Structure 1
Amino acid sequence: MSNESSLSLSELNDRIAILQANIRQLVEQAAGASGEQSEERIANRINQQNEELEKLTRERDARSKK
């Protein structure tokens, strides 16, 4: 997500919910993954999703304080 500030609060909440669902699915995939490359790829994707989730959550929280 390149520009969180262009999203409405509702859109931010929707995107946060999507990221949370993605992370849950990736964690389930990681539990069933076999092979170092597969596990590493999933771990990297989880990290990316968590970073984006944190960024969007901070943006939402900042807007809520206004």
Structure 2
Amino acid sequence: MPDATTLIELDERIAIARSNLSELTEQAAAYSGAADEDRAASRIAEQQAQLDELLKQREKLAR
């Protein structure tokens, strides 16, 4: 039978491991969110470029 000190040490290591897993899960979610934000920013930039081009074409036709 393990002594109390060993059990306490194991409990502390288990708590640390659980904490680490929780932090890693949060980081993974943040990375996923960042990737989504990058995709959204890319789409916005593409749409802005298209809008700019359309506005240039409209300006030329209005002259």
Per the normalisation by structure 1, the TM-score is 0.47
Bigger share in helix: 2
Q: Which of 1 and 2 has higher RCO (CA within 8 Å, sep 6+)? A: 1
TM-score after normalising by structure 2: 0.49
